[in-house]
A and B are shown apart, each in its own frame.
Chain A
Amino acid sequence: MPVSLPYTGVSVACPVTVPYTRTSTRSATGFVGLALSGLLAASGLAKEDIDGLAVSSFTMGPDTTIALTEHFDMTPRWIEWIPTGGASGIMALRRAARAVQCGDAEVVACIGADTADPLSFARLVDDFSTFSTAAVAPYGNPGPNGPFALITEHFLRRFGLERADLGRIAVAQRANAAGNANALLGAKPLSLDEYLAAPPIVEPLHLFDCVMPCAGAEAFLVMSRDRANDLGLASARIAGSVERHNAFHEDPVAIRGGWSMDADALWSQAGLVPADVDCVQTYDDYPVIAAMQISDLAFCDKHALSAFLRQHDLRIEGDFPLNTCGGQLSCGQAGAAGGFLPIVEALRQVTGQPLGRQVPGARVALASGYGMVTYDRCLATAAAILEGET
């Protein structure tokens, strides 16, 4: 089992969220700019102090991170472009942490941002990957709902779950969103009966299994612990992290992701066990994927998931706080920012800066990501464990 070197001396700080809106006339570059501005305000740093920039976005057209340096008159000595959607936040964290550790950059801004107009989601899906255009679109053009309906159908049957088990995730996350002003659906309570009675989209997926596309940005800074201390910032250390791509491609239907290949390495690097975690922030494009991460990351066996979801309270005040900002299912999916949401919410909780309610006494948080459904499953998986340093 390969275990990476520790992230000694590296800190993560300044969780920033640019408020989500259902649609926006602001460009994706504008959302990145607002996120950067928010990072400067939160840290007290000047733009010139940011010498590393890692960005993820789907709607910047032909532009990537390098074009942004010109938009913002920046001269960084390290940049990254991370076009891996749901895994991009943790992948940005991992790359930025090594750059800081090795001295390639002192302060790295990590930003996921996307805009949304009424047609942008359809355009994005239309041209998402070579395989999806050729081999998913002819089947009713279901978008990602098609492949994930197949994954959900198979997963429920094979591991003995009911729709209501997945509903418990959606309902708890909606309760968690109640205090979060940035959650677009936070003011609309959701009951299990409403979840079960929702109209079908691609059966077995119904309305409340699906995220609402929106515009917004999520961001954080990576720097040395000394720098974070000098700036007086509430910060977290990276106890462990992993990523894996195209894992288990021999599985006819996805029942697991790369997390299960690397969970032992993650816990070993962190020197922690699942019971040490105070809150879990999974990627939640669909409830079944949140359930898959709970099991792949070793919180419970897949055959025990149904019982696990019934026996645990997934709310902020519960015994297994899950997606404590409401997740994408309640906040909306702001494109690549959705891939930053788990790590940003983990950072918020372990540094005492939630947008909504605080998980009581949260010190250790796990975040995980899942990105890029190029054909019938997402290929990119990542996870990180953050521990508050204050």
Chain B
Amino acid sequence: MTLDLQVCACCGTAQYPPRSVCRTCLSEALEARAMEAIGTLVAAATVHRSLDPGAFAKSLPLRIGTVALESSVRMIVLVPRDAIIGQRVSLRAASGGHAIEAVVLADPSARPRSQD
């Protein structure tokens, strides 16, 4: 499972949301790289009211969350209803739309990471 992330060809920094230059070294040599995007679910919330109810009426309530990737990138993503804070997840493009979704990694030995 991979996700296209913007990476700096000069210093290797990954960044999200995409920027015009590298957030670390300010290089313009940025490329979209298919990467395994693995991280930890650090916060979750449930959207009941949208500013665009017409577009999202059928998908509400919608669970969203913040995932902290190992590459020091943080992303707001769609989160499965049964995902637990602290679980390890992998990210991928959700079908039909511009969203990214988290998939809980099925590793029974993986213990939730501390939030601190």
Contact = CB atoms under 8 A, between A and B. Distances in A.
Interface stretch (A105-113, A133-141, A378-386): A133-141
Contacts of A154: 42-43, 66, 115
Interface residues of B, number: 36
Interface stretch (A17-25, A72-80, A197-205): A197-205
B41 to A, nearest CB: 10
A387 B75 CA distance: 42
A158 B60 CA distance: 27
B42 A140 contact: no
Contact of A253 (B42, B59, B78): B42
Interface stretch (B26-34, B45-53, B103-111): B45-53
A143 B66 contact: no
B16 A203 contact: no
A203 B48 contact: yes
A145 interface: yes
A201 B62 CA distance: 11
Kindly name the residue among B43, B55, B75, B116 whose own CB sees the greatest number of chain A CB atoms within 10 A: B43
A130 interface: yes
Interface in A122-136: 122, 125-126, 130-131, 134-136
Nearest to B67: A252
Interface residues of A, number: 38
Contacts of A153: 43-45
A326 interface: no
A256 to B, nearest CB: 14
A299 interface: no
Given A145-B49, A153-B45, A250 B72 contact: yes
A202 B44 CA distance: 10
B99 A138 contact: yes
A146 interface: yes
B45 A150 contact: yes
Interface string A66-100: 00000000000000000000000000000000000
A287 to B, nearest CB: 15
Nearest to B53: A141
B75 A146 contact: no
A252 B74 contact: yes
Interface of B: 16-18, 42-52, 55-56, 59-62, 64-66, 68, 72, 74-78, 85, 97-99, 115-116
Interface of A: 122, 125-126, 130-131, 134-143, 145-147, 149-154, 157-158, 199-205, 250, 252-253, 375-376
Closest 3 CB pairs of A and B: A149-B45, A252-B68, A140-B47
